[in-house]
Homo-oligomer: A and B are copies of this chain.
Amino acid sequence: MLFSNSVLGTSKNYSLKTIKDIAALANVSIGTVDRVIHNRPGVSEKTRASIEKLIKEHNFQVNKTARTLALNKKYDIAVLIPESESDSDFWNFPRKGIEKASEEIEIHRTSVRYFYFNQFDPNAFNKAFDELLEDSFDAVLLTPIFLEETQERLKHLERRNIPYAFINVELPNSNNVLYIGQHSYDSGTLAAKLMSLLLGSDADTLVIKVRKDNNHHSSIDNRISGFKSYFTAKKSTSTIYDVVLPNTKDQNAINEIISNQLVNSEIKGLFVPSSKVSLVARFLETAKLQHLKLIGYDLNDENIHYIKNETIDFLIDQNAFFQGYEGTKTLFNYLINDIIPEKNIYLPIKLLTKENVEYL
């Protein structure tokens, strides 16, 4: 009968014990059992041992619901993410995901407070993070865009035993509970594969960075590394050019820079490892160069426009809403229910084309 459960294909466990049961079996009071469960001092070695034995034997686990109620605690989660610059800004997606999750968990006495910063300004990041640190929170969900600035401040959280999770941007070698986001390198490799399919031969390509994106997170660089790695692995003889666009709103200036790159070259495909791909799409439209292949990242109104008219061939989407939604819920479950998630959740790469962009 030992294996009857598995034979029946069930995980039912009808013998859930309570601390009262354990206390009775050990001939002690529930207070003493509680002390053992939480490793609190003031229990003789003998009783501690006997209680620990019973706990193991009966596979006793604390009833979290009762615990939560008894503690009667409110949980405050802090969220530190870039502010949205417009209604179609990428950062609306994670924020909306967080808000959705936040609505769902609000009833569990959990509140979410937002701290926003300008994603291009390390000082703004510092300021927002410092403001966050002034208050006390039970957990922090953040996008660690600026490397050193983040690391310095994470130490404060660790000193206070405040768990934190990353969304969208990874920061290796941290004690984060969770990273949820894209595998940037892989997305670049896929972009390269698609690009070489589009070009059909060993045509040259141009990687276009935007300076604004330059001084922060490593995702952009990882995407580029992934992109280039594909051609290296294929022992391709084609050339991959690089260019960085300045921080300007002057589309003419941008057009000229790209134009100069293309002239006298065999470049047939353009890869923009960020949502700023629309800048390049605008150029292609003006210059009537839409036959050149263009792959970029992220959904926003402009990008949607350009993928519909096929100026952009592929957009790689980051599931940003889901990052925010799932990140928040996972952190909540960690906090309230002691549910320890996998450290890295790499969301699948969502490929958008003219054909499927409508449905989103």
Contact = CB atoms under 8 A, between A and B. Distances in A.
Indicate the member of A69, A74, A319, A347 with the most B CB atoms within 10 Å. A69
A194 interface: yes
Contacts of A28: none
Contacts of A61: 107
A23 B246 CA distance: 64
A113 B198 CA distance: 48
User: What is the oligomeric copy number?
Assistant: 2
B355 A9 contact: no
Interface stretch (A40-48, A182-190, A295-303): A182-190
Interface string A333-360: 1000101000000011111010110010
A356 B64 contact: no
Contact of A197 (B69, B114, B194): B194
Contacts of A10: 111-114
Interface in A113-143: 113-116
A287 interface: no
Interface stretch (A11-19, A86-94, A208-216, A251-259): A11-19
B64 A66 contact: no
Contact of A337 (B69, B76, B107, B351): B107
A115 B65 contact: no
Contacts of A339: 104
Given A102-B11, A115-B9, A190 B359 contact: no
A29 interface: no
B106 A351 contact: no
Contacts of A197: 194, 197-198
A76 B190 contact: no
A208 B222 CA distance: 38
Interface string A49-73: 0000000000001011110110000
B349 A351 contact: yes
Contacts of A194: 197
A263 interface: no
Given A65-B68, A65-B109, 17 more contacts: A9-B114, A9-B116, A10-B113, A11-B102, A13-B106, A69-B69, A104-B337, A104-B339, A186-B355, A190-B351, A190-B353, A190-B356, A193-B355, A197-B197, A347-B348, A348-B348, A349-B350
9 contacts: A8-B113, A9-B114, A12-B76, A12-B113, A16-B74, A64-B107, A65-B68, A104-B337, A351-B351
